[in-house]
Amino acid sequence: MCQIFARQDPAGYRPITRRLRLNGQSTSIRLERLFWEILDGIARSEGLSTPAFVSKLHSEVLIAAGEAHNFTSLLRCTCLIALSRERPAYAAE
């Protein structure tokens, strides 16, 4: 089974930096390509562009928690939550 993971295409985990605005401030976010692809899909399903979705998520985190600690990790976990909803066998209990 590990061969599925060990032989994955390195292009999938190549980091990509995207520039966008969060709460009016220009910033850069660096994530692996596969995470960006998942975020693109989540954004589409919400009827938003990826920058608009990420900005909306950031705003909601600020309202809920007062600040966004390690926002790139939050984005990765957002992707995992979205995938776990599609494939419940991978959901944490």
pLDDT of the chain, 93 residues: tens digit per residue:
678 888 899 999 999 999 999 888 999 999 999 999 999 999 999 999 999 999 999 999 999 999 988 999 999 999 999 999 887 665 555
2-90, what's its fold?
Answer: Ribbon-helix-helix fold (1.10.3990)
* 73 vs 4: CA distance, rounded Å: 24
Instruction: Answer left, alpha or beta for residue 73, where phi above 0 means left and psi between -120 and 50 means alpha.
Output: alpha
Alpha-carbon distance of 7 to 24, in angstroms, equals 41
Q: What is the model's pTM?
A: 0.88
